Structure 1
């Protein structure tokens, strides 16, 4: 609790008490009240009791320990790419992806000092990156903070002249700030994709368009990735996301995070995954879930 600025602490206490009294409706999210993840939790599940958590690890732990039924975690943004390092966090948590949700992201510049000139804007690195054109055009210096709403709470607490926060409009309402500018993101179709995590996997119905997310490590041989991907091409399985990353400092082998359309049980998917297993050191399925937005071409 002491990690949150003072104006957020009372709200965190109230929301935590409500969520912990009814864990079946609790949805853990990272950030202070008023964050985009808070908005996503309320928008995705109307009857949810959002549970604020200081870090992504804390949100996952809340689900693991039964204090929340689910967690909602931002995974990628249309303007600024990867949000959370889920390829590290999710395997260690033992949780499964059971759904996805897309939230339009609109950022506001907010201050505690009315019309005073703004010199600095404090926010999460993702929000700052999504608003860099506005900040540069107005000669405002970006300052990185833990999350957007906590930044708003900090500005409300310190009331420093010339300081502003970038956060959702809800944060200004919660912390009594004045919105100096709205919709300052670099593109107005700004969108963040969230995944919803639970203790148990929940397979979609067979007639529902689905996604499957998995991790794998290629063998350290020439053309390893080419061979590993061949089964998806020959079986007509659409891969919508493939990201590489390194674990540890050896740089001897590369691990990958991938999304495909379909799920195990589909003959084409089963054949593609069998071929992938043959050409990789290991494969770990993270979950199959309904598509929130179609990936089919327009």
Structure 2
């Protein structure tokens, strides 16, 4: 896919170095877009806001580690909209430089979460874990060191990019380790109603009153709307100012969802729909 005015390929931004899981999701689902690696989530959001990138691929939840820190704070005020979701089964490999073998490695580098999700292989091989900025960056560091005693726990794609060898595949402790990604766009693109399962994501603030949250959410129960996510976090440094991120099955045009959102508005402030997008097939698996 190219930008009509320039003929240049469209760009999708992600956080991390080439070879990261976010990069892998971009390649799988947007092969016609040019992936753009960014150092931080702030940089990812900025590239889309500025128009340098057309889309952003952002991890939002992990089945083991929970929600991804900071994303919930960036989303509401970013001016960007969720237009799609994708799920990735996380797979890690133990990578070494050419010539390295399992009995030569002594130290393993990776992101702190990846090291925590691969404790069994680290303990089995008696490796010393070293924390790196991200999983793909760990692979790059090991490639640069050219030391057969050093290894990285990284996505298999990183081996291809940095010229490393896979010493062992699937070294993660759990085979149900899955990350959910959302795709962000400057343009508000709403999935049409009645054409398959849809997710509606929104944020809201509750009034600082007794039972305000209970009353705000009551409309979803009475209208038979399934709420799949409800997370709270502080805003503005105030302990009494709580913002909620919620997701429900259904479209705002559905009568039940419409009535529930209407009731929500009576007991809350600043209700903002972040996106109405097709539900990924993996949701039902």
TM-score if structure 2 supplies the norm length?
Answer: 0.89
Q: Is the 8 A contact 1:41 1:50 kept in 2?
A: yes
Moved more, 31-40 or 122-131: 122-131
| Cα pair 1:87 1:215 within 8 Å, conserved | no
1:259-270 aligned at under 5 Å gives the runs 259-270=247-258
Question: Do 2:92 and 2:154's aligned partners in 1 also have CA atoms closer than 8 Å?
Answer: yes
Judge which range, 189-198 or 156-165, deviates more: 156-165
- CA-CA distance at 1:169 after TM superposition: 1.0
CA contact 2:100–2:149 (8 Å) conserved in 1: no
96, 100, 103: which one aligns with 1:111: 96
- 229, 232, 239: which one pairs with 1:244? 232
Determine which of 14, 36, 52 is the counterpart of 1:29.
Answer: 14
Instruction: Name the residue aligned to 1:255.
Output: 243
1:49 aligned residue: 34
Judged with a 3 Å threshold, the aligned counterparts in structure 2 of structure 1 residues 165 and 22 are, in CA distance, closer, same or farther, namely farther
Q: 1:86 to 1:159 in 2, by over 3 A?
A: same
Consecutive unaligned residues of structure 2, counting only runs of 5 or more, are: 1-5
SS for the counterpart of 1:27 is strand
2:8 and 2:230 map into 1 onto residues whose CA distance is 34
Offset from partner CA, 1:174-207 (integer Å, 9 cap, x none): 1122222210112223221110000011111212
Query: Which structure 1 residue ranges, 4+ long, deviate > 4 Å from structure 2?
Result: 21-24
Cα shift at 1:42 = 0.9
User: What is the deviation of 1:166?
Assistant: 1.3
The CA deviation at 1:158 is 2.4
Deviation at 1:111, TM superposition (A): 2.1
Give the deviation of 1:294 after TM superposition.
Answer: 6.1
Contact 1:169–1:179 (CA under 8 A) maintained in structure 2: yes
Q: Which of 153, 156, 159 is the equivalent residue of 1:166?
A: 153
In the alignment, structure 1 segments of 5+ residues that lack a partner are: 1-20
What is the aligned partner in structure 1 of residue 261 from structure 2?
Answer: 273
Is the 1:23–1:69 Cα contact (8 Å) retained in structure 2?
A: no
Calculate the TM-score normalised by the size of structure 1: 0.85
Q: Distance in 1 between matches of 2:159 and 2:211?
A: 52
Q: Pick from 203, 218, 228: which aligns with 1:230?
A: 218
- How many residue pairs are counted as aligned between the two chains? 277
- Answer 1 or 2: which has greater helix percent: 1
1:221 maps to 2:209: yes
1:117 Cα deviation after fit = 4.0
Q: 1:295 to 1:42 in 2, by over 3 A?
A: closer
- C-alpha displacement of 1:248: 4.3
Residue in structure 2 matched with residue 198 of structure 1 by the alignment? 185
RMSD over equivalenced CA pairs, Å: 2.1
Structure 2 counterpart of 1:90? 75
- 1:179 has 2:179 as partner: no
Q: For residue 173 of structure 2, give the secondary structure of its aligned residue in structure 1.
A: coil
- Is the CA contact (8 Å cut-off) linking 2:19 and 2:136 kept in structure 1? yes
